[in-house]
Amino acid sequence: MSQPITVLQLYPRDMNIYGDHGNLLVIKRRLERYGYDPQIIEYNPGDNFPETADIVIGGGGQDSGQLKIQDDLLKIGPQLKTMAESGIPMLMVCGLYQLFGKFFKTKGGEVIHGIGVLDVETYGKSERLIGNILTESSDFGQIIGYENHSGQTYLGNNAKPLGMVVLGAGNNTDDNHEGARYKNVIGTYLHGSILPKNPKLADFLIEQAVTKRYGEFSHAPLDDSLAEKARASAIKRPR
């Protein structure tokens, strides 16, 4: 019997754009290839929040989607914070990255409150930052993806950037930062989806989750030649 690993996907109905669903597929498939039994929980507003999870992921959304989930997210925020503090790996993309921060003040002046897992603040601007993006990260090497957002994010002292921008915009138009990291929580603007082209990131989430739950993770590396081909082609695309 293979060992279960629970993957909790936050708000797939409202927060799931530009291919973000691919992140769930990659985690599920890689867990299977490593010999685990992935158990997927889709959490939408009003659902019962699970007692625990081994990996938590969430995607991007329109400002309207973010407004829609705000109250529910604030309700489950304390549980997510406890999970983050205990080292549970999480990947939050764009709209949920912003709301894992302190707040998102939209272009219209509306403040959407976040849960403050990440020490970041986001301000809606009139310029949309759109296109392919390439960053360099000390922990994960080159990270390749696609961004599309009008919110610009600034890091506080308790968050470090996930990567530095090589091509594209990233968090904002003022510094070179992309994404944020606190413990095993990763926030990023990268869609595309991000995980199929960045298996190192997927393996980080999986390895942290498995080690935390079962004490060790020792497997031969998976054959990632297809992902390598996708990376080589994506990296050559213009902004």
Q: Which residues contribute to the site for ligand GLN (CB under 6 A)? A: 17, 60-63, 66, 94-95, 148-151
Say how many CA atoms lie within 13 Å of 160 toward its Cβ.
7
Shortest Cβ distance from residue 22 to ligand GLN (Å)? Answer: 14
Active-site residue, selected from the candidate residues 21, 94, 113, 219: 94
177 in catalytic set: no
CB of 36 to ligand GLN, least distance (A): 29
Whole-angstrom distance, CA of residue 178 vs CA of residue 172: 8
Shortest distance (Å) from residue 30 CB to ligand GLN: 24
User: What gap in Å lies between CA 103 and CA 111, rounded to an integer?
Assistant: 7
> Cβ 110 to ligand GLN, closest distance in Å?
11
Would you tell me the crossing angle of helices 21-33 and 199-214 to the nearest 10 degrees?
A: 60
Using CA atoms, how far apart are residues 227 and 14, in angstroms rounded to an integer? 28
**Rg (the chain; Cα; Å):** 17
Whichever of 151 and 163 has its CB closer to ligand GLN, that residue is 151
Q: Residue 43 or 104: which CB sits closer to ligand GLN?
A: 104
Query: By C-beta, is 193 or 208 nearer to ligand GLN?
Result: 193
DSSP characters over 27-74: HHHHHHHTT-EEEEEEE-TTSPPPS--SEEEE----HHHHHHHHHHHH
Min dist CB 202 to ligand GLN, Å, is: 20
Which is nearer to ligand GLN, 62 or 86 (by Cβ)?
Answer: 62
Cα 68 from Cα 213, distance rounded (Å)? 33
User: What's the token pair of residue 102?
Assistant: 């302190």
Look up tokens 């922990």; give the residue.
Answer: 139
Residue nearest ligand GLN, Cβ-based: 60
Active site residue 113: no
In whole angstroms, give the CA distance from residue 204 to residue 219: 13
Q: Which is nearer to ligand GLN, 17 or 167 (by Cβ)?
A: 17
Out of 21, 149, 191, 219, the active site residue is 191
Q: Which residues are the active-site residues?
A: 94, 191
